[in-house]
Amino acid sequence: MPNVQRSLQPVPFTQVQLTDGFWAPRQETNRRVTLQHIHRKLQETGRIAAFDLNFTRKVPSPIVEIFGDSDVAKWIEAVSYSLATHPDPQLAQTLDGVVDKVIAAQQPDGYLNTHFIVVQPEMRWKNLRDWHEMYCAGHLMEGAVAHAQATGQRKLLDALARYADHIDATFGPEPGKKRGYCGHPEIELALVRLYHATGNPRYLKLATFFVDERGQQPHYFDIEARERGEDPASFWAKTYEYCQAHVPIRQQDKVVGHAVRAMYLFSAVADLAHENNDPSLRETCDRLWDNLIHRRMYITGGIGPSRHNEGFTEDYDLPDETAYAETCATIGLIFWNHRLLQFEGDRRFADVMERGLYNGFLSGVTLSGDRFLYENPLSTNGSRHHEEWFYCPCCPPNVARLLASVGGYFYSTGAEDVWVHLFASNHASLEVAGTALTLREETQYPWDGKVTLQMELERPATFTLHLRVPEWCPGYRLSVNGKALQVQPGPDGYLAVRREWQSGDTVVYEMDMPVQLIWSNPAVRQLEGRVAIQRGPVVYCLESVDNPTTPLDRISIDPEGFLKACTVEYRPDLLGGVAVIHGPGRAIEAEGWGEVLYRPEAPGEKEITLTAVPYCTWDNREPGEMRVWLRA
């Protein structure tokens, strides 16, 4: 049986200073550009002004207007994370102004949702299935926790604790309370965070109720629909799978429905497995993880192929050109796997977390930091591009909050253990074996697999250093102070080096990082006969700007010949500095076809040299085609 109590403690992002050429520039752009860009858009679209409570809106209102408070909340969280590591008086002043507006909008009973205060007060808590009240509350709670941690001020935290008290007085199993829960999970994980920030066990109890009550019969969404005078069968999605409420969570055996809702719920389930010492919830996580990762995840860490439900369809349904793969869904996948990783430090969770971070997450924002993707296809004919904003703008502030806090995903500690999950040049301040440790890491990762770690200790200390051997890594070398060590990875996929460490000790860890061709399971019918290029954690793609001689879908490669002849070139002048891959390919020629649609002769082919760039950087240059999976 897997652990129910977490053995690892993640090192907070505030104790990890990234200094590398990959993440640090992204974080700087996030601070200088993205946060300001989002703030402008929140102002232009009236989302911040809504907290002044003097707006008008049609009834019924579009759902994106109803959950506009959550977009402001995620921006508050993102700015708070940024200020926690990089103080900025002007940004802090802007944040303070927005926070004061939010607090001023709160009602005497603690309620805080601008739409239902101003537009439809009579409909408060009348449509949990569709109207996102608790979802907005959850994001406000997360923003409040982040704000308190960053500024030391409790004003927003106290306000959201009052809102949580109001929700707790309204919902629960006790007589006179509603037995409802939100159609869009989020408040569950937020209440766990609020519990830790305030120490109030009622918030943990409420989170547990919301998770346990989902999908129970008689179904609450049916009850509230009838109370509104509606037929439950008229629900547009036709199934409560969309809301993650079709069955109680412990009975669920497949990942279905809306992808973001699934990931936020599963993150809370992982939290509550630990908090409540609940093996059934941990087993549920493992069962659903196996289904998602082995049957329903894109190679980029994208999840949810369908636009219809912004989520899942059936096993092995992973079309590339029509992939939905919402940026927020990959962010949720990262959240969930980071939580699962803390139970026993199992490499498989870190591998998925890394896959999402280096591919399907970063593709969601341009290097300039002011354009975003909602959907992340793996192929496009040139019609899909990043945009400045969206009608439903959930992804931009979600990207911003993860970028600002990404340092928190690199390390974990135990009483006498340090785990290194991800690799980047950084300085980390840790506590292990009763002493302070500064870990200085130098590497060109993800373009090179060599990592150097230097220990700075207050005094000698005995502990175990755990280094992840990534799934993609076929070989490695390890040395301490120049002496080679022969260490085999344990069942968890980490190299464990236990010794008395001295200040100045240096670990050199070299991971082989060959170019690899990845094939999909034959059950993925859309990808039969195709391969993808990967090197280290980075998935590659072709763009027409680098391969202008033919439409990209006409390009094929000979796997054996490609791997023998391909070369890797680091280009500091390209896309912020990336490793590109060149290799031989073939391209179908269209000469001689004219207006003929069909003919009994095959088209000719020509030899070409193709160039592949990291998928996470696509659509940062000239508009054009893009393709991950190539004919083989």
Contact 144, 150 (CB under 8 A): no
- Say which of 243, 328, 394, 473 is annotated catalytic: 394
Q: What is the DSSP letter of 364?
A: G
3-class state of residue 401 by DSSP: helix
Q: What is the DSSP letter of 277?
A: T
Query: Who contacts 3 (Cβ-Cβ below 8 Å, separation ≥6)?
Result: 282, 343, 344
Task: Give the Cα separation of 206 and 179 in Å (integer).
Answer: 11
Query: Who contacts 100 (Cβ-Cβ below 8 Å, separation ≥6)?
Result: none
Residue that is written with structure tokens 């569950």 in the block: 188
Task: Give the Cα separation of 611 and 582 in Å (integer).
Answer: 5
229 — alpha (psi -120 to 50), left (phi > 0) or beta?
left
Rg (alpha carbons) of the chain, rounded to whole number: 25
3-class state of residue 406 by DSSP: helix
Contact 584, 558 (CB under 8 A): yes
Residues facing residue 420 across a β-bridge: 411, 467
**Token reading at 63:** 């759902």
Task: Give the Cα separation of 127 and 120 in Å (integer).
Answer: 12
Catalytic-residue membership of 321: no
Tell me, what amino acid is at 508? V
**Token reading at 484:** 């080679």
Residue that is written with structure tokens 């809504």 in the block: 50
C-alpha dihedral (337, 338, 341, 345), degrees to nearest 10: 140
| Distance from chain centroid for Cα 71 | 16
Catalytic-residue membership of 566: no
Task: Give the Cα separation of 280 and 273 in Å (integer).
Answer: 8
Tell me, what amino acid is at 92? A
Task: Give the Cα separation of 324 and 331 in Å (integer).
Answer: 14
**Half-sphere exposure (Cβ direction) of 128: Cα atoms closer than 13 Å:** 28
Q: Within 10 A of 556 (CB to CB), how many other CB atoms are there?
A: 19
Task: Give the Cα separation of 445 and 338 in Å (integer).
Answer: 20
- Say which of 77, 142, 213, 310 is annotated catalytic: 310
Which positions are catalytic? 310, 394
